[in-house]
């Protein structure tokens, strides 16, 4: 029997996640949010805090021991999501967000990934554009509060944000990124032309002046107080140490883990990877005798660099196509839409990450898009191409396919026995829940094998406690080291 309280709580929590983040809701294809945008003020923050607390109380009132295995997964994921949301509200990162994690995405990135299905949605989107003035006014205000409370971004990230805003304001009105909407083929060209004229008036009179005011505030008030490279860590802002510990809990999944433990794991991984780099590198660079020599060759050899942006994009396309070809040997569910490759928009490429991904809409009306940063392609490492693309194929494109599959409610225990280069054994046990999260672990592993990435996995034991329609073959797989 289904626990009705848990089912209702899950539904209410999901609805609240859409209401509190209209941009995310639009990206997911929810039409009713096209005329809305986020609000950044104390009233909203207090409302969200109350919602999280209320959801937590409702969850705690449910007897977890009485739940089925599938419901326990739902319970656990809600518990984790609510804890993470509460921590985010305590962090108040909007007070010092800048650089890659700043608010420039509203201007440069998001609209280019929106799919407008009809004229009604297009008209709603004009109302959303009118709300940009409120949004950037609120951004400026909350960051003034951060400045007052010694919670300011690093100078480096502030300069990145300033550069991105200047690039945006320096673009012509005709080529404003906010106009780069994906309209349905059913919408007439004359309607689209008329829509863009209306949008340009809003951009010119409301958005650009407000963004300019925010830009001037960053230059005059924030830059003089921006944290130097010597004080780049989050610990240097008021409340920073608590913020770091909350992030540690969130990203490791361990409530009691310490900073020292995580640091020691990182150091041990560096030493392990040095040996692996040498094992592979001595076959690529004849004459090398140490890991350091391999790393040095990787940095200076011309063959380790791209020749052009075009080569960089083509290699990404080729890598994704090569990874997709053998997937029918492993999986039965595939993305409805292809994964297309585009360069990161010019306005943000200088400070953007190496790559990022926007998933397709569940109904297939918008393709998944892999944005590759081609800024100064000749300086970028060609040996990173597959590892960067690898993040997109399984973690995003395939993962979202499984997320949207109707039979995705199952759990798999994976026992991984790995052998290090010193032949010492260790066992990693991971429980992957498919009820809320895409099965990234399996996708990463199997797609990695299809790309013939180096692996030291000797075998996998899949013990299923519910039907597994995603994977092909038996529940026991043996994979030998190539």
Quick one: 201 and 289 in the same domain? no
Quick one: 208 and 286 in the same domain? no
58 versus 391: the higher-pLDDT residue is 58
| Whether 382 contacts 308, CB under 8 Å | no
Quick one: 227 and 295 in the same domain? no
Quick one: 97 and 169 in the same domain? yes
pLDDT of 467 higher than 50 = no
213 versus 474: the higher-pLDDT residue is 213
pLDDT of 142 higher than 90 = yes
Quick one: 241 and 274 in the same domain? no
Strands 339-343 and 355-358: unpaired
Domain presence at residue 461? yes
Among the listed residues 327, 390, 329, the one whose alpha carbon sits nearest the alpha carbon of residue 355: 390
Domain presence at residue 427? yes
Residue 298 belongs to domain spanning? 258-304
Among the listed residues 416, 428, 419, the one whose alpha carbon sits nearest the alpha carbon of residue 460: 416
Average pLDDT estimate for 391-404: 52
Residues 6+ apart with CB under 8 A from 325: 450
The per-residue pLDDT for 120 is: 96
| Whether 132 contacts 210, CB under 8 Å | yes
The per-residue pLDDT for 62 is: 96
| Whether 177 contacts 121, CB under 8 Å | no
In angstroms, rounded to a whole number, what is the distance separating the alpha carbons of residues 132 and 147?
22
Domain presence at residue 395? no
In tens, the pLDDT along 176-223 reads: 999 999 899 899 999 999 999 999 999 999 999 999 999 999 999 999
Count structural domains, the chain: 3
Average pLDDT estimate for 250-274: 87
| Whether 69 contacts 465, CB under 8 Å | yes
User: Nearest 10 degrees: CA dihedral of 166, 168, 171, 172?
Assistant: -120
In this structure, the number of other CB atoms found within 10 A of the CB of residue 325 comes to 9
The per-residue pLDDT for 128 is: 97
The per-residue pLDDT for 334 is: 63
pLDDT of 311 higher than 60 = yes
In angstroms, what CA-CA distances link 38 with 47, 102, 106, 196, 314? 13, 14, 10, 23, 37
In angstroms, what CA-CA distances link 54 with 45, 67, 246? 14, 21, 21
Band of residue 430 on the pLDDT scale cut at 50, 70, 90: very low
Average pLDDT estimate for 423-451: 34
**Residues facing 460 on adjacent strands:** 416, 477
Quick one: 30 and 135 in the same domain? yes
Domain presence at residue 350? no
Quick one: 295 and 238 in the same domain? no
Quick one: 142 and 180 in the same domain? yes
Domain presence at residue 361? no
pLDDT of 306 higher than 60 = yes
pLDDT of 55 higher than 50 = yes
Give Cα 263 distance to the centre of its chain. 23
The per-residue pLDDT for 415 is: 32
Domain presence at residue 200? yes
Quick one: 292 and 430 in the same domain? no
In this structure, the number of other CB atoms found within 10 A of the CB of residue 298 comes to 17
In tens, the pLDDT along 225-258 reads: 999 999 988 889 999 999 998 988 888 877 788 8
Domain presence at residue 349? no
Structure tokens at 437: 């999260």
Quick one: 199 and 149 in the same domain? yes
In angstroms, what CA-CA distances link 379 with 164, 228, 271, 356? 21, 26, 26, 19
Domain presence at residue 419? yes
Quick one: 193 and 268 in the same domain? no
Quick one: 157 and 26 in the same domain? yes
Residues 6+ apart with CB under 8 A from 2: 71
The per-residue pLDDT for 293 is: 92
The per-residue pLDDT for 205 is: 96
Burial class (CB in 10 A: 0-12, 13-18, 19+), 386: buried
The per-residue pLDDT for 150 is: 92
């Amino acid at each position: 029997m289904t626990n009705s309280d848990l089912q209702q709580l899950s539904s209410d929590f999901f609805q609240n996640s859409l209401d509190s983040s209209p941009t995310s809701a639009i990206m997911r294809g929810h039409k009713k949010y096209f005329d809305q945008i986020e609000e950044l003020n104390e009233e909203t923050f207090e409302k969200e805090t109350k919602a999280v607390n209320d959801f937590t109380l409702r969850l705690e009132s449910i007897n977890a021991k009485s739940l089925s295995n599938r419901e326990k997964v739902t319970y656990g994921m809600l518990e984790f999501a609510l804890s993470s949301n509460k921590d985010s509200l305590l962090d108040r990162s909007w007070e010092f967000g800048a650089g890659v994690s700043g608010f420039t995405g509203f201007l440069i990135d998001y609209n280019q990934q929106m799919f407008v299905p009809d004229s009604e949605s297009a008209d709603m989107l004009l109302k959303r554009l009118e709300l940009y003035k409120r949004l950037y006014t609120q951004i400026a205000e909350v960051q003034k509060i951060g400045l007052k409370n010694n919670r300011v971004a690093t100078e480096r990230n502030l300069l990145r944000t300033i550069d991105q805003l200047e690039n945006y304001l320096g673009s012509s009105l005709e080529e404003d990124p906010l106009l780069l909407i994906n309209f349905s083929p059913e919408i007439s060209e004359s309607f689209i032309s008329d829509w863009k004229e209306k949008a340009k008036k809003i951009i010119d009179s409301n958005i650009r002046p407000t963004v300019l005011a925010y830009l001037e505030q960053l230059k005059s008030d924030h830059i003089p107080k921006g944290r130097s490279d010597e004080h780049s860590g989050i610990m240097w802002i008021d409340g920073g140490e608590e913020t770091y510990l909350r992030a540690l809990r969130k990203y490791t999944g361990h409530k009691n883990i310490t900073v020292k433990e995580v640091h020691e794991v990182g150091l041990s991984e560096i030493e392990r990877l040095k040996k692996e780099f040498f094992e592979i590198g001595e076959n690529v660079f004849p004459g090398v005798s140490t890991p350091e020599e391999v790393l040095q060759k990787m940095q200076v050899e011309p063959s380790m660099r791209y020749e052009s942006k075009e080569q960089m994009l083509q290699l990404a396309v080729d890598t994704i196509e090569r990874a997709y070809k053998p997937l029918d040997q492993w999986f039965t569910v595939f993305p409805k839409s292809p994964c297309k490759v585009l360069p990161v928009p010019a306005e943000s490429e200088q400070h953007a990450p190496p790559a990022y991904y926007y998933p397709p809409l569940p109904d297939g009306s918008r393709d998944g898009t892999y944005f590759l940063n081609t800024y100064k392609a000749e300086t970028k490492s060609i040996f990173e191409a597959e590892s960067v693309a690898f993040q997109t194929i399984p973690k995003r494109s395939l993962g979202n396919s499984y997320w949207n599959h109707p039979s995705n409610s199952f759990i798999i225990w994976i026992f991984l026995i790995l052998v290090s280069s010193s032949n010492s054994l260790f066992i990693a046990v991971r429980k992957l829940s498919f009820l809320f999260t895409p099965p990234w672990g399996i996708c990463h592993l199997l797609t990695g094998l299809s790309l013939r990435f180096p692996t030291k996995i000797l075998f996998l034991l899949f013990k299923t406690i519910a039907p597994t329609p995603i994977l092909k073959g038996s529940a026991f797989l043996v994979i030998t080291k190539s």
